[in-house]
Amino acid sequence: SEPVDVPVLADYMERLINEKMEFGSGRVMVIDDDPELLERYSLILEGGGFEVRRVSSPATVLSALSEFRPDIILMDVQMGNFNGTTLARMLRFDPEWVGLHIIFLSSEEDSEFQFDALSQGGDDFLTKPVSDRILLQAARVRCYRARQLDKLASRDSLTGLLKHSLAKSEVGKEHGRCQRLDYPSVVAMLDLDHFKQVNDRHGHRVGDLVIKGLANLLRHRLRKTDVIGRYGGEEFIVALPNCTLENARRSMEAVCEQMSKIEFSGSDGTFSVTLSVGMAPLEDYEKPEDAIEAADRALYARKAAGRNGVTS
Ligand code: GH3
Ligand code: MG
Ligand code: MG
Ligand code: MG
């Protein structure tokens, strides 16, 4: 094989680093029962561009968390009769906070104490006093990682498309925008035709490849601004912002046609798969769920009318 060109590699690495490691700032919740320290750390972080929520009483942490939704929490360990490690352990059992980074900040240098704090679910342990520079960089790097994790968690692992709940909330956002700014948008529901037969004849693994195939087709055919989500097993949801029903139909009909032309390799030679699409004008409905329901009804009308095509 070709030898790797070191300057090119270095250039590539530098580009990668510059592009991907833009730490920026984020949201930090500082929890400390010492008001002076609380203020000091908060000011340092605010000086570094972070949005900060100060919490001095452990009793208010949970409500503050759901309201503020921080990327990381920076937490004292000993707070009166409350131990920060208890909170860390609790958060680690709650899937809602799986992406939240917990940094302990304590003057406790005893290694058993630190060991215990990390064992309870802390991601890191900084020892007081900590320099402004290290505190800021620790926060920057962890906010960045928290956002990376968040992004991953919102994507379906098979297709890389938005997962159900995020896709729905993106459709909801688009519903708000198109009503506010008064332009047409379309929501579409897609479902593969006779997909059970694909699984039965060719196996689940081949079925997965077909699902991936449609996901890739949608990603390549649709615009960058379109919302594409995996709504369920072999069901997809799409929102086309700033698009008339007529243009959406053209776009979706092209997707149907191209899908039907893809040749998949099955257990007994190649085969093809079709899909059905139901659409509704997003701005015509009071609530986004109503538009989704209308698109779903159109989808089932399409299924009844012979599949492989678009109905609105
Ligand atoms: P219809 O044309 O009416 O939609 O018929 P259908 O056979 O596609 O019926 P339905 O939509 O109810 O069936 C969905 C099937 O998709 C059932 C399930 O086994 C399969 N399925 C759901 N999720 C996955 C997945 O992630 N991978 C694979 N391989 N199959 C899946
Ligand atoms: Mg304390
Ligand atoms: Mg189906
Ligand atoms: Mg289905």
Q: How does pLDDT run across 229-268, given as a tens digit for each residue?
A: 999 999 999 999 999 999 999 999 999 999 999 999 998 8
ipTM for the whole complex: 0.96
Summarize the confidence of residues 10-22 as an average pLDDT.
61
pLDDT number for residue 174: 97
Give the whole-number percent of the chain exceeding pLDDT 70.
93
CA of 256 from ligand 3 middle (Å) equals 14
pLDDT number for residue 101: 93
pLDDT in tens, 198-229: 999 999 999 999 999 999 999 999 999 999 99
pLDDT category, 4, cuts 50, 70, 90? low
Instruction: Report, as residue numbers or ranges, the catalytic residues.
Output: 234
According to DSSP, the residues that pair with 270 across neighbouring strands are: 265
Q: Which two three-digit tokens encode residue 299? A: 């989808």
Contacts of 203 (CB under 8 A, 6+ apart): 267
Closest by Cα among 129, 102, 125, 131 to 44: 131
Give the whole-number percent of the chain exceeding pLDDT 90.
80
Give the span between the Cα atoms of 82 and 68, in whole angstroms.
21
Atom of ligand 1 nearest to the CA of 210: 29
pLDDT number for residue 288: 97
Test site for ligand 1: of 163, 191, 196, 235, most ligand atoms within 8 A of the Cβ:
196
pLDDT category, 133, cuts 50, 70, 90? very high
Q: How many CB atoms lie within 10 A of CB 125?
A: 18
Residue nearest to atom 24 of ligand 1 (CA): 233
Give the span between the Cα atoms of 312 and 246, in whole angstroms.
10
pLDDT number for residue 3: 57
* Ligand 1 site, CB within 6 A: 191-196, 199, 204, 207-208, 211, 233-234, 303, 307
Summarize the confidence of residues 165-194 as an average pLDDT.
97
pLDDT number for residue 148: 80
The ligand with the least distance to the CA atom of 300 is 1
